[in-house]
Amino acid sequence: MNTLTSVAVFCGSREGNDTIIISQAKKLGETLAKQNIALIYGGSKIGVMGKVAQGVLEHKGKAIGVIPEFLKMKEVVHLGLYKLITTKNMHQRKVKMHKLSDGFIALPGGFGTLEELFEIITWAQLGLHQKPIGLLNTNGFYNDLIELLEKMVVKGFLKMENLELLIVDDNIESLLDKMKAFKPMQVPKWLNIDRA
């Protein structure tokens, strides 16, 4: 079993227009707090990410924000967090979030969310980390993406063992249970995150 003391959450800086996604984001924060899992996230008070942080804080959990200097504006940054870490750029932000986290969960979002998700999966595929990566498929949001990933396997662009690095569920508790039970691939000992 994997010990999850902290989880990085990738998600939208906008709320979107699906109330189920918004309520599930808040419920994820609540669940993390109740399971004593610290939230590592983008540090914003707005969008889906703001709802996750709100869920954590309303249930006396620990929320740690990691934000690049150029995004640190009063209208965006969450000032009520346990800790706010400022980085020089986006890449440093992702490396810091990786180092602080025992696992990762992607919620619905836009280009930035997909970029963060696919970079962390690529790092796992290359053997740069062995942490569980979850995809919370709220209200079928990621159905088309999952179908595309399966097509990549069929067409020979993606190995099934690499697709299986992504843990998919539409239920928060079940997703966390699967992440705790995740068994990583064996990787060469000479690989480490600094080679990314």
Question: How far apart are the C-alpha atoms of 14 and 178, rounded to whole Å?
Answer: 28
Q: What is the predicted pLDDT for the residue at 196?
A: 46
Domain boundaries, the chain: 6-183
Amino acid 185: pLDDT: 75
Strands (E), 49-177: 63-68, 83-87, 103-106, 133-136, 166-169
Task: For residue 42, give the nearest of 101, 5, 84 by alpha carbon.
Answer: 84
DSSP 185: P
Residues 135 and 7 sit within 8 Å (Cβ to Cβ): no
pLDDT at 190: 45
CATH number of 6-183: 3.40.50.450
Tokens of 62: 């620990």
Reported pTM: 0.92
Give dist(CA 172, CA 29) in Å, integer: 10
The pLDDT value recorded for residue 187 is 61
Query: Which residue ranges of the chain lie beneath pLDDT 70?
Result: 74-75, 187-196
Q: Could you report the per-residue pLDDT of 9-46, keeping only the tens digit for each?
A: 999 999 999 999 999 999 999 999 999 999 999 999 99
